[in-house]
Amino acid sequence: MKFSWLVWQLVDSAFPAGGFAHSYGLEAAWQQGEVDAASLPLFVRDAIAQAGHSALPFAMAAFDDPQSLPLFDERTEAFLRNPVANRASRVQGRAWIGTVERSFPRDDVRALVEAIRARPGHRHFAPIFGATLRALDVGRDEAARMFLFGTARGTLSAAVRLGITGTNDAQRMLSEQSENLDRTIRRCSDLAIDEAAQTSPLIDLWQASHDRLYSRLFQS
């Protein structure tokens, strides 16, 4: 049962993993008039599918084979050609591993962190996430669910802070995404990294334009 408590801790919005500094392309899409309150659920749906097909394979590969984390990190670097998404992934990866290291000073976690820092690398979020959850003894299915839940919750949290929707409506939309989350996990949790793909090119394009926004609340 102790791992159930750990999962709750890791998905708690109070866990300082750095994800709330990013909007997953929503801020750029909203400022360009491409997303409003009515179309927000569709954006969240597409963001979940995008994460499932493009990032989850790298997270699960590192979960299954933590010893090959440097390889998966390099493959993630090659896959993320969008400079904004690439930078966000590296920033989140470094924030995540730092928080895990300080929050769970266990021998297995310490050994993983030391191995990561012993060699140069990009430290992208998806493979770092998968490898650290394996070190924390979180189950594979739970790890996949946590990864996609973080995308859905983070996107809707950004929508609230941007003023696109309210907190209650955001929670309603998050609840309504449960079937979509389950379907994406069924389709994507066993994908190999060679099968990773960008399924929402518009989100990728909007996110790539983030640095050109006149004013920005989020890093990406």
pLDDT tens digits, residue range 79-95?
A: 999 999 999 999 999 99
pLDDT band at 171 (very low <50, low <70, confident <90, very high): very high
pLDDT at 1 over 50: no
38: Cβ contacts below 8 Å, ≥ 6 apart:
none
> CB–CB of 58/72 below 8 Å?
yes
* CB neighbours of residue 45 within 10 Å: 19
Give Cα separations from 186 to 51, 127, 198 (angstroms). Answer: 13, 19, 17
> CB–CB of 99/32 below 8 Å?
no
Q: What is the pLDDT of residue 15?
A: 85
Q: How far is CA 87 from the centre of its chain?
A: 13
Q: Give the mean pLDDT of 130-142.
A: 94
pLDDT band at 16 (very low <50, low <70, confident <90, very high): confident
Mean pLDDT of the chain: 92
Tell me the whole-structure pTM to 2 decimals.
Answer: 0.93
Among candidates 75, 73, 55, which has minimal Cα distance to 112? Answer: 73
Q: Which residue has the tokens 């097909």?
A: 53
* 66-125 confidence digits (pLDDT tens): 999 999 999 999 999 999 999 999 999 999 999 999 999 888 888 888 888 888 889 999
How many whole angstroms separate alpha carbon 129 and alpha carbon 136?
A: 11
Q: What is the pLDDT of residue 12?
A: 86
